[in-house]
Amino acid sequence: MKLKTLMMSALIALSAPLMAAEHTVEMKNVGADGTMVFEPAVLKVAVGDTVHFVPTDAAHNSESVPGLSPEGAASWKGVINQKVSVTLDKEGVYVYQCFPHTVMAMVGVLVAGEPTNLDAIKANVGPLKAKFALNKDRLDKYLAQVK
């Protein structure tokens, strides 16, 4: 039984890169969380998965926020009104923003695998939150959903 479990684990580990999934996050003027939102705003994926940010409405982009990604993770900066795709190779929590709407707290959270860096993220969100004029508690609500 134990050996079989081990072998299954090994098989799953070996096949994981082949099963990398793809996810879509919409960039919207209005969504369940209010105006100027990413949807879903909090998304849990597996390490190695790809997330596509699609411009459902106009005038949005998605870009990583310096200091709010796992150690060694690549940054990204989407062009306004264009789809941008990001493959999450490092485990942990990523906070990203829509640059034109940072002031409205148009931000989102990705979790690849386990949220191993959640404490560091929470300790470093101050400068980003200081830019919010509206929806000031939005990012805290999102981070509270991360388990």
Q: Determine if 73 is a binding residue for Cu ion (CB under 5 A).
A: no
Q: Provide DSSP, 101-119.
A: GGGGT-EEEEEESS-TTHH
The answer for 84, left when phi > 0, alpha when psi is -120 to 50, beta otherwise, is beta
Q: Determine if 60 is a binding residue for Cu ion (CB under 5 A).
A: yes
Task: Please identify which residue in 63, 101, 115, 142 interacts with Cu ion, judged by CB under 5 A.
Answer: 101
Considering the complex, state which of residue 98 and residue 105 has its C-beta at the smaller distance from Cu ion: 98
Minimum distance from residue 41 beta carbon to Cu ion (Å): 12
- Segment contacting Cu ion by CB under 5 A, of 14-22, 40-48, 71-79, 105-113: 105-113
Binding residues with Cu ion: total (CB under 5 A): 4
Q: Which residues pair with 42 in a beta bridge?
A: 109
Task: With H, G, I as helix, E, B as strand and everything else as coil, classify residue 1.
Answer: coil
What the block records as the tokens of 79 is 């062009």
Residue with tokens 């695998």: 113
**Helical segments of 20-125, H only:** 118-124
- Segment contacting Cu ion by CB under 5 A, of 17-25, 72-80, 97-105, 135-143: 97-105
Q: Determine if 110 is a binding residue for Cu ion (CB under 5 A).
A: no
Provide the binding-site residues for Cu ion, judged by CB under 5 A: 60, 98, 101, 106
